[in-house]
Structure 1
Amino acid sequence: MNTSVNTPWVLGLTGGIGSGKSAAAQRFIELGVHVVDADHASRWVVEPGRPALAQIAEHFGPGVLQADGQLDRGALRALIFQEPQERRWLEALLHPLIAREIADNLASATSPYAILVSPLLIEAGQRAITQRVLVVDAPQPLQIARTLLRDQTSEEQVQAILKAQASREERLRHADDVLVNDRDLAWLHSEVERLHHFYLTLRGGQS
């Protein structure tokens, strides 16, 4: 990777479900930072007309498609949650495509640093393309309460997602910075601003 003065360094932003990483990312965007969302990239690579969707439908059958030809995420999620080997098959197909999409998007950044937001930064090996990691953390009861409120889902499903994501300990072990998001939005914004000013002083994300 070209590390000339003009090349933005990359901050990985991650956190468990309901931790508030999206709200934190939104504030970084408002501050003028180029943000790439791995979830958006993962949705884009399975849009109708893209090769991955055809391969998924061929592998799992037409039941994973909606009537309009879009991927039925709920149906696919139900299939892979019960079958670890099916999840591995899907990851092997999608991870390289998502990685390429993310890299292309990061390459277009013009801010002093860019951010890759990903709930699976640690698990999907995306940590390798970042120079620094910020973990947005929240106590688990708060994560569950926020997710239930936002997604109208069952507590059982939230627990399953928490299980599939890296453990808090694992995430925190990889963190250069930790933002504990257990207060209100105004406080989260002030913490993001504090970190942003600090990040502007860093060269290459480290010193």
Structure 2
Amino acid sequence: MAPTSETLTAERILEATEEVLRRHGPAKATVVDVARALGVSHGSVYRHFRTKAALREAVTKRWLDRTSEALSGIAAADRDAESRLRDWLAALFDAKRRKAGDDPELFATYSVLTAESGTAVGEHLADLTAQLTRIIEAGTADGTFAAADPATAAGAVFQATVRFHDPCHAREWERPAAEAEFAAVVDLIVRGLRA
């Protein structure tokens, strides 16, 4: 039985949109395709998302939020700051590699969507940097790290590791040397932060 607009939720629309994007790619996917996949009119989709751009922004945010949520648990963990920093950076690298490797079509689609995103990418980057800031603040408070300004240090750490989490570097992540290069960068960062 096809769903009605009364049972249609934003979450169901976003799930269907991911499937449509995976199948058609960002250039060819339309709101009509999403509505067809849900068995509703395109007007029903527009009741939840006023424009195609708003729908694409919401899908992008949902995708980015999955990474942020996974990392927030590491940032908030009750462990020493150095371990949390290492684990957080490794989890970010792993999450991005997994997304690129497990579903390359959807990863390519999201690379296009993040480039056109209005606020979702900026909010995501701010959230990730805030998580790093909390880790570095904790390390500074307990004497593990010596950061005069944890927020500035967090921004520097994020930028220093960009090669291991920015989608434009995805092709490099599967190189045999990528893991060793990542470990070397993280070791350098930790040494630089230590008191």
More helix by share: 2
In the superposition, the TM-score normalised over structure 2's length comes to 0.34
Return the index of the structure with the highest Cα Rg: 2
